[in-house]
Structure 1
Amino acid sequence: MSDKQMTINDIAKMAGVSKATISRFLNGHFERMSEDTRTKIDQIIKTSGYRINQQAKALTDKQTHLIGMVVADIENIFSSMLFKGADQIFQESGYQIILMNSNNSLDQEQKQLERLLSLRVDGIILQPVSEMASHYQFIKDTGTAMVIVDRKLTPQSWPEITTDNYGYSQLLGNFIVRMGYQRIVMIGEKIIDNSARTERYSAIKDIVNKAGISAKLIEIDRSTSDSDIYNLLMALSDNLENRTAVYALKGTILMRVIAILSQYHVAVPGQLGVVAFDDWDWAKLVQPQITTIQQNPQVMGKKSARRLINMLENDNMKIDTTLIESSLKVRDSLVDYHKSKSI
């Protein structure tokens, strides 16, 4: 045989049968096909070196075994661990995953989602940039299965795999209050359109209202300088005179806060308490180690993959919420002002 790629037409001519018969053979439909014909086609395929075009076969099967995953910030280690967990489950189940980054941009997110739809993915795992389900109606219109991970949509329109951000942030806030702090300064990226950050912020506001203390919010982006952050922390803590705990709303913000406090020689926990909602185990990499709510993104990725496979293989389209367990890790970054006062 020549080096030319064999086609289904070539096999049909060699076997003396129709192209439709070859197609039925390749797809395992042997009814109305004699044993002699089956044996003849099988031998020709084996001796000719013909390779099934999996992409073309997927068009026939109407299933590609491709899964799309879009994360908000691929530079965040949370996204890497999320992908790792999902990829493990998909590999075990015979699916291939395509990872894409929205870079926290709604426009880019839509382009990435449209690219995945053009690739005819069987399903999508999405860490959404927007809270509004209407922004993703075009996916529902295609009938493509989807699971929302880490965040929530309003109204809920797909299965969601997330953390109890409000509950765990409330747990952390109560601990801060119990340690005798009079002010909590939250710091993070803009909370609008981000359900995780909104819930963490709301929990602290509810805690301080009950406790009769104050809470402030610092919203930053990539253009916010270290000196700007330092000046805001100083102003909101009354130049370190107020018993203030800084609450970093995610792990990457925590690392930046710690670097700034070190740069400006602010002692933790002596002058400022520091806590965080940690995406990964950043808090164990610094001294003192930081009190955190510790998430488990790898488990979140595994759960989202299993939920999507269940949708695809069992036609389970139930809209539900799965909460992934987190934990409060008490370390050395807060001063117990009640105890220090009594000493």
Structure 2
Amino acid sequence: MTSFSAAQRSRVTMLDVAERAGVSKASVSRFIGDDRALLSDAIALRIEQAIDALGYRPNQMARGLKRGRTRLIGMLVADIRNPYSIAVMHGVETACRQHGYNLVVCNTDRDDEQERQHLAALRAYNIEGLIVNTLGHHLEQLLELQREMPLVLVDRKVDALHSDLVGLDNPLAVRMALEHLEQQGYRDILLVSEVADGTSSRVERLHSFQSQVSLRKDLRGAIQETGPDLHTRLQAFLAQDGAGPKALFCANGIAALACTKALRELGCRLFEDIGLIALDDLDWYPLVGSGITALAQPTQAIGTSAFDCLLKRLRGDTSPTRSLDFAPQLLIRGSTQPL
């Protein structure tokens, strides 16, 4: 078998293949495109042998641009280290693959300048649609892209961007958490969240928590953000007189990890001195103490649905924009044992 370097392969053209196979350039184009069935078996075999002999690799990007189709979908994420983002991205990529698309992922690292550069790069790649999981600070660029292609938002609203939105039913998630804690006998609840920073899903959880606690006369609630003073604030929460047994409600997996580490450092008997329920369901939740009770987000379904919304728009759907809010699943473990 002849071995070809990448440079050698890049120099081989469709015309070279046609001359080697003794066929027209149009026949080679049909062979590597969608019209292979129009060729006779004998001609197809000659072209295949010529391609193998020359090490020819068609430039699919150039072909896509010529046809106006690249079959590329862009996805812009705020923090690729976030387990939620990774899980949703897997759902999007799986759906893309099933429909013959490839996913181009750009991570902004919560940096506005990175977001601006990535939006420009995605546009240069001639993506056919874009899935956005960021704060959307570069609204003008997003609006410009939206005039050229469909956009779908995941988890985070961008107020001036009228696009389909796919995410969690946050008020329902908060209600499920509070109902479970109350049923288990907890009365003093501290919601621990990452800094809201304008993230609509976080803001929605905070507001839902405040409004729903106010409607439950047996509960007392407070809110604490993660950060350098979390250790001190948790220590004060444990020491203060409360309305009854105490529990933490962690608004995502990152908050759950920060709280678990802080409680260990404080020498707290995990899930004996304090209860804990957390949004998301990460792999390590069952491994901590007797397991962390979770409100699992259907991340695979969220990612798949985001792509499905995009695909419908690509196929010409002009119906009004919609929000798809998924319900979480309550997974009860030892961190919220009955009192």
TM-score normalised by structure 2 residue count:
0.80
* Match of residue 301, structure 1, among 300, 303, 315: 303
Give the paired residue count. 317
In the other structure, the counterpart of 1:139 is: 145
Residue 128 to residue 174, structure 1, CA distance change in 2 (3 Å) = same
- 1:206 matched to 2:208: no
Q: 1:267, CA displacement in angstroms?
A: 2.0
Amino acid at match of 1:273: G
Residue 105 to residue 47, structure 1, CA distance change in 2 (3 Å) = closer
Q: 1:164, CA displacement in angstroms?
A: 0.4
Amino acid at match of 2:77: V
Amino acid at match of 1:74: I
In the other structure, the counterpart of 2:116 is: 110
In the TM superposition, 1:171-320 aligns within 5 A as 171-212=176-217, 213-220=219-226, 224-225=227-228, 228-239=229-240, 243=244, 244-312=246-314, 314-318=315-319, 319-320=321-322
Task: Write the distance in 1 (CA, Å) between the matches of 2:136 and 2:59.
Answer: 38
Amino acid at match of 1:266: C
Residue 110 to residue 285, structure 1, CA distance change in 2 (3 Å) = farther
* Match of residue 90, structure 2, among 84, 100, 114: 84
Aligned structure 1 segments of 4 or more residues deviating by more than 4 angstroms? 6-14, 21-25, 42-51, 130-135
Amino acid at match of 1:89: A
Instruction: Give the conservation status (yes or no) of the 8 Å contact 1:125–1:148.
Output: yes
Q: 1:131, CA displacement in angstroms?
A: 8.3
Task: Write the distance in 1 (CA, Å) between the matches of 2:47 and 2:299.
Answer: 50
In the other structure, the counterpart of 2:35 is: none
In the other structure, the counterpart of 2:170 is: 165
Task: Write the distance in 2 (CA, Å) between the matches of 1:284 and 1:95.
Answer: 35
Please state whether the residue corresponding to 1:245 is helix, strand or coil: strand
Amino acid at match of 1:138: E
% identical aligned pairs: 23
Q: 1:268, CA displacement in angstroms?
A: 3.0
Please state whether the residue corresponding to 2:202 is helix, strand or coil: helix
Please state whether the residue corresponding to 2:335 is helix, strand or coil: coil
Instruction: Give the conservation status (yes or no) of the 8 Å contact 2:17–2:50.
Output: no
TM-score normalised by structure 1 residue count:
0.79
Instruction: Give the conservation status (yes or no) of the 8 Å contact 2:18–2:25.
Output: yes
Which is worse superposed, 241-250 or 159-168?
241-250
Task: Write the distance in 2 (CA, Å) between the matches of 1:69 and 1:200.
Answer: 24
Residue 84 to residue 63, structure 1, CA distance change in 2 (3 Å) = same
1:7-65 alpha-carbon deviations (Å, 9 max, x no partner): 46778999xxxxxx96798479xxxxxx9xxx99x978975856543222222111111
Instruction: Give the conservation status (yes or no) of the 8 Å contact 1:279–1:297.
Output: no
Instruction: Give the conservation status (yes or no) of the 8 Å contact 2:112–2:137.
Output: no
Amino acid at match of 2:289: Q
In the other structure, the counterpart of 2:3 is: none
Q: 1:238, CA displacement in angstroms?
A: 4.0
Residue 25 to residue 331, structure 1, CA distance change in 2 (3 Å) = closer
Please state whether the residue corresponding to 1:73 is helix, strand or coil: coil
Q: 1:194, CA displacement in angstroms?
A: 1.0
Task: Write the distance in 2 (CA, Å) between the matches of 1:182 and 1:134.
Answer: 46
In the other structure, the counterpart of 2:60 is: 54
Stretches of structure 1 that go unaligned for 5 or more consecutive residues are 15-20, 29-34, 338-343
Amino acid at match of 2:234: L
Task: Write the distance in 2 (CA, Å) between the matches of 1:131 and 1:216.
Answer: 30
Task: Write the distance in 2 (CA, Å) between the matches of 1:240 and 1:266.
Answer: 17
Residue 59 to residue 124, structure 1, CA distance change in 2 (3 Å) = same
Task: Write the distance in 1 (CA, Å) between the matches of 2:285 and 2:121.
Answer: 37
Please state whether the residue corresponding to 2:279 is helix, strand or coil: strand
Q: 1:281, CA displacement in angstroms?
A: 4.3
Which is worse superposed, 158-167 or 326-335?
326-335
1:142-173 alpha-carbon deviations (Å, 9 max, x no partner): x1222111222325611111110111111212
Task: Write the distance in 2 (CA, Å) between the matches of 1:133 and 1:6.
Answer: 43
Residue 295 to residue 12, structure 1, CA distance change in 2 (3 Å) = closer
Amino acid at match of 2:332: V
In the other structure, the counterpart of 1:18 is: none
Amino acid at match of 1:153: V
Instruction: Give the conservation status (yes or no) of the 8 Å contact 2:235–2:266.
Output: no
